Homo-oligomer: A and B are copies of this chain.
């Protein structure tokens, strides 16, 4: 369940476009209007607003937002306004083009591959080809070294069965295969990747549960204990995104604000991508792990229109 709040009576796309256009016109921008419109509309409603804006003014809404807003606020509103598949294709591309391709960047790709629906993942791959003149997996192959490359390609190419169908004996057998790969540090072997990249998430959750019962460790703990490269933390993100995306995104938020300074890109991404999906659960998970509310954490680490926009997506009345 998301945290996005939609008014009982939603203005027509034309009315919303007029409000936005008015907010952009003249000197300065009425940021409050932008937040009050876009921060309270679903993905389908935002799509209609984009299309209507283009028809009414022969201008791109995203381009206008880009030229009217600035800083982290701009980045958050732009990401929120894109079609979700285009948004994720752009996030993946940015991660692959980044000079630091550490876990902080590359986990974006894992999130898209493992914490989205199969149809969304396919839509992202289609959008990627349309935007960047090559496939997502070609760009991964060109920019990410082995063995992480092999894991990421294996995951983004998945199209998982999406109904809740679990075979307990498969869970048991595949827990043993995963265990053997981890024990022998063959974390990029074909069996390992085929299981993580083709099984449906419900089946995998059962497999991870078997793993814990049979071997006494959770699979992510077991992976963590085997090495300190980039592969182990990537696989931890894989396991979490499959097993409990809310736990993963609560951790993204925590990591983005911990210590001095804030990683606004990660914070924005977590809230923008999950506000309509499972932000209620992310918030609950955050509270359980950190004994403080996610909302307070966001308020403490951000400010101005950026804060107001994130808080709006989190369901606050700002």
Contact = CB atoms under 8 A, between A and B. Distances in A.
B135 A159 contact: yes
24 contacts: A118-B126, A118-B129, A119-B126, A122-B122, A129-B162, A133-B161, A133-B163, A133-B165, A134-B161, A134-B200, A135-B161, A135-B198, A135-B200, A137-B159, A137-B194, A137-B198, A138-B161, A138-B198, A138-B199, A146-B190, A150-B190, A153-B198, A157-B159, A157-B197
Interface in A138-168: 138, 141, 146, 150, 153, 157-163, 165
Interface string A91-134: 00000000000000000000000000011001001100100011
A125 B194 contact: no
A160 B141 CA distance: 13
Contact of A153 (B118, B141, B194): B194
A120 to B, nearest CB: 12
Contacts of A138: 161, 198-199
Given A135-B200, A138-B199, A199-B138, A159 B194 contact: no
A137 B160 CA distance: 9
B129 A161 contact: yes
Interface string A198-214: 11100000000000000
Q: How many copies does the complex hold?
A: 2
Contact of A158 (B126, B157, B158): B157
A135 to B, nearest CB: 5
Nearest to A125: B159
A129 B198 contact: no
A198 B160 contact: no
Instruction: Kindly name the residue among A118, A134, A162 whose own CB sees the greatest number of chain B CB atoms within 10 A.
Output: A134
A118 to B, nearest CB: 8
Those 7 A-B pairs whose CB atoms lie nearest each other, nearest first = A157-B157, A125-B159, A137-B198, A135-B161, A129-B161, A134-B161, A122-B122
A165 B135 CA distance: 12
A125 B160 CA distance: 9
A89 to B, nearest CB: 12
A289 B162 CA distance: 45
A140 to B, nearest CB: 9
Given A133-B165, A135-B200, A159 B122 contact: yes
A159 B190 contact: no
